[in-house]
Amino acid sequence: MIAARCSATLRPVYIGFPDRDTRAVSGLSARSCDGNELGARGGDVASRTGLLLAGTPSEINFHVDWCDEMPPTGRVGATLTVGVAVVAAIAVAAHAQGGRDRTVPKPSTLPNPYRLVPDWPTLPATMKGPNRHKWGEVIRVHVAANGNIWVFHRCFSDKPHGDATCLNRGDANPPILEFNPAGRLLKRFGVGLFAHPHGFTLDQNGNIWTTDTNDQETILGMPAKNAKGVTMGQQVLKISSTGTVLMTIGTAGVGGNGPYTFDRPTGVAIAANGDIFVADGHSPNKSNSARVVKYSPDGTFMKTWGRMGSEPGNFREPHDIYVGGSKGYVYVADRQNNRIQVFDQDGNFVAAWKQFGQPSSVYVDKRDNIYVGATYQDASRGQSVMGPTTDANDRAIVIGNAITGELKYLIPDPGDLSKMTDTGTSASGIAADDQGNIYVADVGLNNLRKYVKVE
């Protein structure tokens, strides 16, 4: 048991400690000695929020006894002196005994106050996806400060499935598109810059930031080279709103996990002060990379945190990243660990939430709403977090509170993705505008969706 000198016992939880295997813990006593009770918020703790604690940080002695659910290696005791805020972070980092492949049930009882806008946006007749589809694979979407919607997609291609390439797609299939809110195409560019588009965001000045996860010399028998003969991929690009490359971080075609090399960087996010955060380590990658890398606004390396692992602060395929909300937190879609991890901008661990399922995308708006593109697998049906779902609508957009982690809404996917070969969610990219409209990039169903909230 974890016990404080002043206590009010909460329900049993599972707690993950850095550099230790996760064990079941019998309970958590939580009242700070200054009188602030630490309580669970948000109704059903297990299915809606996990265990969330609140209180003024104060130093309390805790004693940890691993309970009977642990493997037969003996009971272990450890005395920790930590602040209440740290204990809160550890508690929400909890993941169930049994390992990283466990996921929580889909919260199907959550309301869905959103409706899909049909036939949005409008594409010119010269742009069309394969097999009579409107699109090929669409990987990311973002909303600019002026309300226009920017799309990062794989050049109306769907080959290879789930990892479609922009190689040799030509001027008629540019990977970066800008639409107005009504869905009219305004700009198109980016031809010849990417082999495998993945990460995408906009900064406050309207500049575009991208990542390319390609780590191959050839794709489908085609050399993965640009017009200068350089292998594309393994870079972050900063691009102006007119298509001019302003900055590159990383070396094209060179993988690694050093200060200025990446191995399949999945996402990029820009803080309000211009600092750059890169999620690095799409699975699989040759460097075993799984981390967040931070740079100054001019691209100077500042720090990195995380490695391959399931402990709080470590990652198994950090698939998307966003910096925002009222606290400016760093939110990471830690996909193969089935959790959203939350950090401050110095990399200090804040929380880990499993109630959002297996996340592929994450976005936080100005009102502290968090939007997650999720998969809810069921291990009892023999599902693997790395394979396709076996039932329809096991994938969804989940919306919650970006500070507490409480779930609010669930939007089921409109199609039967059990027949798709792609892993993760169809909402591989997600964003919202100031009016609360949601924009979703579909890899699995080759589509771009817009949802409006029904009042």
Residues 6 or more apart whose CB falls under 8 angstroms from that of 221 comprise: none
The whole-angstrom separation of Cα 441 and Cα 122 is 15
Burial classification of residue 98, based on how many CB atoms lie within 10 Å of its CB (0-12 exposed, 13-18 middle, 19 or more buried): exposed
The whole-angstrom separation of Cα 241 and Cα 203 is 11
CATH number of the domain located at residue range(s) 114-453 in this protein: 2.120.10.30
The pLDDT of residue 455 is 73
Q: What is the pLDDT along the chain (455 residues), one digit of tens a residue?
A: 333 333 333 323 323 333 323 323 333 333 333 333 333 333 333 333 333 333 323 222 333 332 323 333 333 333 333 333 333 333 343 433 334 545 577 898 999 999 999 999 999 999 999 988 899 999 999 999 999 999 999 999 999 988 999 999 999 999 999 999 999 999 999 999 999 999 999 999 999 999 999 999 999 999 999 999 999 999 999 999 999 999 999 999 999 999 999 999 999 999 999 999 999 999 999 999 999 999 999 999 999 999 999 999 999 999 999 999 999 999 999 999 999 999 999 999 999 999 999 999 999 999 999 999 998 865 555 444 445 555 555 789 999 999 999 999 999 888 765 565 445 566 899 999 999 999 999 888 888 999 999 97
* HEC string for 337-395: HCEEEEECCCCCEEEEECCCCEEEEEEECCCCEEEEEEECCCHHHCCCCCCCCCCCCCE
Q: Are 418 and 392 in contact (CB under 8 A)?
A: yes
Q: Which residue is listed with tokens 């040799």?
A: 168
Token pair of 9, please? 């016992």
**Residue 411 one-letter amino acid:** I
The pLDDT of residue 381 is 53
Q: Are 198 and 282 in contact (CB under 8 A)?
A: yes
Q: Are 266 and 281 in contact (CB under 8 A)?
A: yes
The pLDDT of residue 387 is 53
Cis check for the bond before 160: say yes or no (omega within 30 of 0): yes
R_g over Cα of the chain: 22
The pLDDT of residue 133 is 86
CA dihedral 426, 207, 166, 213 (to 10 degrees): -70
Full-prediction pTM beyond 0.85?
no
Domain with CATH 2.120.10.30 in the chain: 114-453
The pLDDT of residue 417 is 58
Token pair of 434, please? 């100031």
Residues 6 or more apart whose CB falls under 8 angstroms from that of 195 comprise: 165, 166, 167, 212, 214, 216, 219, 224, 231, 232, 233
The pLDDT of residue 426 is 66
The pLDDT of residue 35 is 33
